[in-house]
């Protein structure tokens, strides 16, 4: 039987891995679901739900105790997932949309690097138009839909 610490560690590990877009199998595990009832660990279950279908904006605008602090790897993964959400809704995405959604300064190189990462990880396919500062999307991986944990955002 997994301890609470093991379950929290698994959540941290999975949400730090580049390219993961499906979190439902982990969420369905009884040891993970049991964390919802523990005030000290419930924020980690909310984090898992955020990574399943949430965005950077939701994380940044949540009350401080809603989610645990993210590692650099988790920040980058949530940025990738937010990009997937943006590009899933449209076949063209402006750099400015991405910059606003991620709350980053106007830096085309940042956007291009993030898009290339997502493409290299197989999360999406498309074409970068650096001159017009647009991304033309041909395919994106779908994201999970999990129920929000009790006390979620």
**pLDDT average, residue stretch 117-129:** 96
Sheet with 92-94, edge to edge strand ranges: 92-94, 134-140, 124-129
How far is Cα 68 from Cα 15, in angstroms, rounded to an integer? 12
Domains and CATH numbers, the chain: 2-61 (no CATH), 72-140 (1.10.10.10)
Give 66-122 pLDDT, tens digit per residue: 999 999 999 999 999 999 999 988 899 999 999 999 999 899 999 999 999 999 999
């Amino acid at each position: 039987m997994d301890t609470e610490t093991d379950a929290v560690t698994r959540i941290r590990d999975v949400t730090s891995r580049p390219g993961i877009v499906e979190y439902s199998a982990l969420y369905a595990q009884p040891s993970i679901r049991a964390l919802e009832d523990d005030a000290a660990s419930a924020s980690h279950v909310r984090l898992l739900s955020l990574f399943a279908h949430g965005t950077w904006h939701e994380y940044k605008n949540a009350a401080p105790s809603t989610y645990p602090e993210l590692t650099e790897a988790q920040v980058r993964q949530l940025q990738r997932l937010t990009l997937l959400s943006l590009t899933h809704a449209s076949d063209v995405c402006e750099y400015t949309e991405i910059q606003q959604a991620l709350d980053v300064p106007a830096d085309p190189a940042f956007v291009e690097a993030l898009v290339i990462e997502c493409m290299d990880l197989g999360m999406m396919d498309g074409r970068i138009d650096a001159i017009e500062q647009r991304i033309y999307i041909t395919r994106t991986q779908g994201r999970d839909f999990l129920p929000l944990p009790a006390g979620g955002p």
